[in-house]
Amino acid sequence: MLVVIGLLSPLALVAWVRVDRWRGQSHAAAASWSLRRRVSPRAWAKPRDWLHLQPRDAARAGVVRRTVTAVLRTVVGEWREPDPRDRWSLGRLRGAAVWSGREMHFGLFAASRSGKTMRALITQVRSHPGRLVVMSNKLDVVIHTIAARRQRGPVWIFAPASDLSALRAKCCGWTPLTACKSWRGALAMAQWIFDADPSASATSAGSSGARFYNREAVETLMPALLHAAALDDRQMGEVLGWLRGGLDGLDEPREILLAHDAEAAAARALADVQQLDERARSYLLISAAQLISAYRMPDVQAHEQHDFDPGRLVEDGGTLYLIAPDSQQDLMAPIFGGLLGELLRACELAAQHAHDPREVPVVKVVVDEAANLAPLRKLPTYLAVSGGWGVRWMLVYQSVAQLRQRYGSDADTVLANLQLRGAMAPVLDRMTRDEFVALLGDEQRYETSRTANTWGSTRSVTRQQRSRPKLSADDLLRLPEGVAVVVHGRDLPAKVTLPFWWEAEGAGSAAAAHEREAPSR
């Protein structure tokens, strides 16, 4: 008897694991005759459902967990694991560290004071081993990550409107004019700057007159001025002065273009603007000046030197921080947009020249307060196409309402390209709750009802299957602190715990990190 039990036990284990595996998968594609359809799927993922999102050599996992995981992987034949170069940290699922799959953009929705900086943002920045761009309005992000990033390559901090004395670090220089030596580069830079200006693009969505003047500022006036300044080694402050100089202010850049035998279209564009009637010309100059109004600030003008080359980051690696305080976000957004546009272009060129798609370098772009710091008008397009360039986005919004207010009907395109989404507790606004309740769908619950006679004895038992939302609005409101709901592609959704970054790395690592970072504070 014991021999029979010993022989049947492995078979029973395999059968149980297989059935349990079916419970962790969708049955939508299963044939009508498949046994999988007789198994009720789970509502929420368990660690064994996300085996492919767990590193096989998880150093902090206990012996028991590693052994059980190894057995499960062997039984179900699951040997996939996250790529360290192309993954996002998803916290812990019932104690197991989980990471995202490859080639995914991450959308995180977290209200103010939800802990997104210490639990999510800093963790992503510290854990990524490769090329990284970080956009934030908080110097805390730099303070807690700069030592770790310096171990992975050169670090540039472009924060001309921020005080970096607490970091004992210097702000690097960057100017849009470096890319404007050619007429093609000037056209592209003007478009990148315009795409990231929240007020200009918002105005463009209004009256037809506003759309005309903003389009003309981008297509005719701005490229010509940027090209002239680049050819004559001028500064952006002088470009702003030309725009504020009215009719006569355009004489000097036009003469520069003629003297350098520049593209005929550039000089002709300025001449055409000068021939407009005064009212139309004034609107056009104001629209263009608005795009680069940050260069009226002495601190921004002082950092126009060419210290940062986006191509170097893509080719050799490193980290770029783009930091702007809350009070200067609208001013700095167009400048950051120009730099980010130049970086994305470098990623596109690197992908085109790669002989093997697997050789395309992965560049992560982590954006805090994405609606304010990176209100890119072409973000829906970037999300759709930049994955092929090796670019991975993490966009942090306070709510879905903030995203929809910024992009209107295009917000659906943004959401469609965010195959990895998370909502951190508490979820307070109605639009975010509705979005995730609909995204999570329903679960099947069995309800048992009993009828009894006068004396209390059971007469009949009825068991019915009913559908109900996996999470209600009240459930999302009352999620525990540090818990996030994560939707990962085709996998079952999960409730994960996002520890503070020092908890995620362990006490020893946190102490060492503190010792390394103390001199930089």
115 lies in the same domain as 183: no
What's the chain's length in residues? 521
Q: Which domain holds residue 154?
A: 98-161+317-444+469-520
Task: Give domain status of residue 91, yes or no.
Answer: no
338 lies in the same domain as 210: no
426 lies in the same domain as 476: yes
Task: Give domain status of residue 457, yes or no.
Answer: no
State the DSSP H helix or E strand holding residue 20, giving kind and residue range, or none if neither: helix 2-23
Candidates 364, 333, 368; CA nearest to 109 is 368
Per-residue pLDDT of the chain (521 residues; tens, 9 = 90+): 666 666 666 666 666 666 666 666 666 656 666 666 666 778 899 998 899 999 987 655 667 777 777 777 777 778 889 999 999 999 999 989 999 999 999 999 999 889 999 999 999 999 999 999 999 999 999 999 999 999 999 999 999 999 888 887 889 999 999 999 999 999 999 999 999 987 754 444 444 445 555 666 677 889 999 999 999 999 999 999 999 998 889 999 999 999 998 888 899 989 988 888 888 888 888 888 989 999 999 999 999 998 999 999 999 999 999 999 998 999 999 999 999 999 999 999 999 998 888 889 999 999 999 999 889 999 999 999 999 999 999 999 999 999 999 999 999 999 999 999 999 988 989 999 999 999 998 877 766 767 766 665 656 777 677 778 888 888 888 899 999 999 999 999 999 999 999 998 864 454 444 534 443 33
Question: What is the structure's pLDDT at 516?
Answer: 44
Task: Give domain status of residue 359, yes or no.
Answer: yes
378 lies in the same domain as 512: yes
What six digits make up the tokens of 347? Answer: 């990623």
Task: Give domain status of residue 337, yes or no.
Answer: yes
Q: What share of the chain is helix, strand, coil (3-state, %, to 5)?
A: 55, 15, 30
503 lies in the same domain as 380: yes
The DSSP call for residue 294 is G
Compute the distance between CA of residue 17 and CA of residue 69 in angstroms, rounded to an integer.
Answer: 12
What six digits make up the tokens of 513? Answer: 């990190």
Task: Give domain status of residue 69, yes or no.
Answer: yes
Question: What is the structure's pLDDT at 518?
Answer: 40
480 lies in the same domain as 340: yes
Dihedral angle over CA of 40, 42, 43, 48, nearest 10 = -170
Compute the distance between CA of residue 407 and CA of residue 32 in angstroms, rounded to an integer.
Answer: 42
**Amino acid symbol at 303:** H
137 lies in the same domain as 248: no
285 lies in the same domain as 208: yes
Given a contact cutoff of 8 angstroms between Cβ atoms, the answer to whether 42 and 24 are in contact is yes
Candidates 200, 223, 197; CA nearest to 211 is 200
Task: Give domain status of residue 170, yes or no.
Answer: no
Residue ranges of E strands in 17-130: 89-93, 96-99, 106-109
351 lies in the same domain as 222: no
Cα 136 from chain centre = 12
432 lies in the same domain as 515: yes
Counting the structural domains of the chain, the total is 3
Task: Give domain status of residue 311, yes or no.
Answer: no
Compute the distance between CA of residue 41 and CA of residue 44 in angstroms, rounded to an integer.
Answer: 9
Compute the distance between CA of residue 71 and CA of residue 434 in angstroms, rounded to an integer.
Answer: 40
336 lies in the same domain as 427: yes
Compute the distance between CA of residue 498 and CA of residue 488 in angstroms, rounded to an integer.
Answer: 15
Given a contact cutoff of 8 angstroms between Cβ atoms, the answer to whether 125 and 366 are in contact is yes
Candidates 126, 116, 107, 122; CA nearest to 370 is 107
What six digits make up the tokens of 262? Answer: 């520049």
Task: Give domain status of residue 462, yes or no.
Answer: no
Candidates 321, 336, 317, 308; CA nearest to 141 is 321
194 lies in the same domain as 224: yes
| DSSP helix/strand/coil, 213 | helix
* Residue 474, domain CATH: 3.40.50.300
State the DSSP H helix or E strand holding residue 497, giving kind and residue range, or none if neither: strand 494-497
